[in-house]
Amino acid sequence: MEKARDFAYMRAMQTASAPLMPIPGHIDPVPVPRAFKPRADGRIDLLGLSKADLRMALETAQLEPKQAKLRAKQLWHWIYNRGVTDFSLMTDISKSMQPWLEQRFTISRPQVIEAQVSTDGTRKWLLRSDDGQDYEMVFIPDADRGTLCVSSQVGCTLNCRFCHTGTMRLVRNLEPGEIVGQVMLARDALGEWPSQPEGRMLTNIVMMGMGEPLYNFENVRDALKIVMDGDGLALSKRRITLSTSGVVPMMARAGEEIGVNLAVSLHAVTKEVRDEIVPLNRKFGIEELLQACADYPGANNARRITFEYVMLRDKNDSDADARELVRLIKKYKLPAKVNLIPFNPWPGAPYECSTPERIRAFQEIVFGAGISAPARTPRGRDIDAACGQLKTASEKKSRAELDRLAEEKQAALG
């Protein structure tokens, strides 16, 4: 127990000694120091530790290096291949060892606060971290695949104007265990243990939930490495997509160190409109962003870059916009696919969705230039699970509370 605490202490000290950095946002994308905090009961959570850290945790708890190596391998299999959270069910670990592990370690899951199912089968979970932060994940089943939309941050700094999450302040980055925890929880809910190479319902992951993943780069990278590990969850990098609003300086690193598919929230083709819709554009402009896409390691015709384009009535949906989109994609010779997303309104949203006719006309221009441009059917609208609608209930409540207070104040004044 002491040694396990030492390990936590050591990691906490490593974190404490890391230079203090601001939470990344409009300022600069900077690496965020990892915070391995011991739980309140002093135990170390094994979920989200890399293979090397898992072994180190066991060694620090005074297991012989050879024993630690063997146990780490067994634990990895039980945690990520079998989905087991209870040490006493790990049948190849001796009966005397199980309580020893139990005293020092735990294997967590995020706490489920609410689970909703849409009429179209989309499922949304409101999750809560140990420190009481709420975030969401969404599972979208299709005939030939099931996609889990995973959050990387609680809230977001980027304030994209069409996005409900963007109206939340950034609370904090999610830890690797909290990101992997979403995948584990979805697998629990879908009954998909042990991990099978074929016939899974959860086949794809998109880092498109709450937050900008490239502003939480290291935690997202470490979490996705666990998700891709062949001895555990074993999801192929070809089935994982990381979506960015255009954090240009981190894109090459994402390609090199994670290697998953790239999606870019483009949403506009002129500086004026993109500055308004995706304010990060004021910092990293369209041309710079498209050059980073052209340089993205591993992008080719078999692994195209997806450009997300939300259809906003009379804002970004003209024929001229469609032609400019085509021109830009061709100029940078991008292996591209364009996802046209009908805008999902939320209360107080400053935009309306383009008409179906307009979306079709836009689509025909892009498609006519030889670029795939499917118009996405909104999923889970009735449970606020559609693209750009994620916002945690606790935040909604606090807003409601604020509105009520504002009304009361006005009534008192008037």
152, 19 Cβ separation under 8 angstroms: no
Closest contact distance (angstroms) between CB of 92 and ligand SF4 is: 42
- Residue whose token pair is 């850290």: 53
Positions marked active-site: 136, 387
Sequence-distant (≥ 6) Cβ neighbours of residue 273 within 8 angstroms: 315, 316
Which region, judged by CB under 6 A, interacts with ligand SF4, from 142-150, 194-202, 209-217, 330-338? 209-217
Count of Cβ atoms closer than 10 Å to residue 143 Cβ: 5
Nearer to ligand SF4, 137 or 158 (CB): 158
Contact string 255-274 vs ligand SF4 (x = CB under 6 A): ----------x---------
Nearer to ligand SF4, 163 or 293 (CB): 163
Q: Cα–Cα–Cα angle for 208, 398, 22, nearest 5°?
A: 55
- Which residue intervals of 191-283 are DSSP H helices? 217-228, 248-257, 271-277
Closest contact distance (angstroms) between CB of 205 and ligand SF4 is: 16
Closest contact distance (angstroms) between CB of 125 and ligand SF4 is: 17
Contact string 145-184 vs ligand SF4 (x = CB under 6 A): -----------x-xxx--x-xx------------------
Of positions 45, 212, 222, 384, contacts ligand SF4 by CB under 6 A? 212
Closest contact distance (angstroms) between CB of 332 and ligand SF4 is: 22
Closest contact distance (angstroms) between CB of 249 and ligand SF4 is: 16
Residues facing residue 242 across a β-bridge: 207, 262
Which region, judged by CB under 6 A, interacts with ligand SF4, from 205-213, 285-293, 335-343, 354-362? 205-213
Q: Which of 289, 298, 292, 300 is nearest to 258 (CA)?
A: 298
- Angle separating helix axes 286-294 and 319-331, nearest 10 degrees: 40
Residue with nearest beta carbon to ligand SF4: 166
Count of Cβ atoms closer than 10 Å to residue 259 Cβ: 19
Contact string 36-75 vs ligand SF4 (x = CB under 6 A): ----------------------------------------
Of positions 110, 176, 211, 380, contacts ligand SF4 by CB under 6 A? 211
Which region, judged by CB under 6 A, interacts with ligand SF4, from 129-137, 210-218, 292-300, 393-401? 210-218
Alpha-carbon distance of 288 to 178, in angstroms, equals: 32
Nearer to ligand SF4, 210 or 240 (CB): 210
188, 144 Cβ separation under 8 angstroms: no
Count of chain residues binding ligand SF4 (CB under 6 A): 12
Nearer to ligand SF4, 149 or 383 (CB): 149
Alpha-carbon distance of 93 to 71, in angstroms, equals: 8
Nearer to ligand SF4, 363 or 389 (CB): 389
Q: Cα–Cα–Cα angle for 385, 387, 389, nearest 5°?
A: 55
Q: Cα–Cα–Cα angle for 186, 128, 174, nearest 5°?
A: 80
Classify residue 180 by its DSSP letter. Answer: H
Nearer to ligand SF4, 45 or 212 (CB): 212
Residues facing residue 312 across a β-bridge: 353
Closest contact distance (angstroms) between CB of 150 and ligand SF4 is: 12
Helix/strand/coil percentages in the chain, nearest 5:
40, 15, 45
Nearer to ligand SF4, 68 or 140 (CB): 140
Of positions 245, 344, 389, 392, contacts ligand SF4 by CB under 6 A? 245
72, 54 Cβ separation under 8 angstroms: yes
Closest contact distance (angstroms) between CB of 166 and ligand SF4 is: 3
Burial 112-122 (b: 16+ CB within 10 A, else e): eeeebebeeeb
| Residue numbers at the binding site for ligand SF4 (CB under 6 A) | 156, 158-160, 163, 165-166, 210-212, 245, 265
